[in-house]
Chains A and B, each alone.
Chain A
Amino acid sequence: GAVVSQHPSWVICKSGTSVKIECRSLDFQATTMFWYRQFPKQSLMLMATSNEGSKATYEQGVEKDKFLINHASLTLSTLTVTSAHPEDSSFYICSAVNRGRLTQYFGPGTRLLVL
């Protein structure tokens, strides 16, 4: 199956700092990438969708200035949590879709802890 990687796998940072998470499709070209977050014992919550070369589309309630998404190439999307606060602590997961396909393949996730 298709492989999607995320880096870093976990990060601990101080409140007010910015954190960048990378999502890469390793063996296919991802025309669309999705960013999710998951709180404990909750389902995946879609934050935003990014298409290569265009601006990301954010879900209702997700601050675009807080969560900056860049999909600069067909294999890389980045999520930057700007001025992170403790309430941003969560598990962030990306997924990628190959051109013309429907199945999303997920990365392993990034655990963010903001102190």
Chain B
Amino acid sequence: DQQVKQNSPSLSVQEGRISILNCDYTNSMFDYFLWYKKYPAEGPTFLISISSIKDKNEDGRFTVFLNKSAKHLSLHIVPSQPGDSAVYFCAASRIGMNYGGSQGNLIFGKGTKLSVKP
């Protein structure tokens, strides 16, 4: 049972436009969400996070939106740049509770490959 889903395996966007990456989750107990960016053969790089008490968090070109009722979050990148081309993973966690063996475990989606074309 996949608890964090990224239904779009890939996304192609023109440079300068907005990239919108989507993520859905099924476990209503998740209360902390993160987005990571990953290049091939490298470890993921943390981008931005949001806790369930907020519905929006912004950091430069990156904005994450959380819709708790829909169990949906999205990452907006504006404006998109060719260097943003990578695989983006969303992840979910539960604050302060043991999950899967240890506190703070992350449950990852399968990722969305973003291609930003010049």
With an 8 Å Cβ cutoff, the count of chain A residues facing the other chain is: 28
- The answer to whether B41 and A59 have CB atoms under 8 Å apart is no
Would you call B86 an interface residue if the criterion is a C-beta within 8 Å of the partner chain's C-beta atoms?
no
Contact among B36, B93, B111 for A106, CB-based, below 8 A: B36
Task: For the complex, give the distance between the alpha carbons of A77 and B99 in Å.
Answer: 21
Which of B15-23, B44-52, B60-68, B69-77 interfaces with chain A? B44-52
The answer to whether A84 has its CB under 8 Å from any CB of chain B is no
Chain B contacts for A1, CB-based, 8 A: 46
Interface of A is mostly: strand
CA A59 – CA B103 in complex, angstroms? 13
Contact B46 A105 (CB under 8 A): yes
In the complex, the chain A residue whose C-beta lies closest to that of B96 is A102
**Residues in chain B within 8 A of chain A (CB atoms):** 32, 34, 36, 41-46, 49, 89, 93, 95, 100-106, 108-111
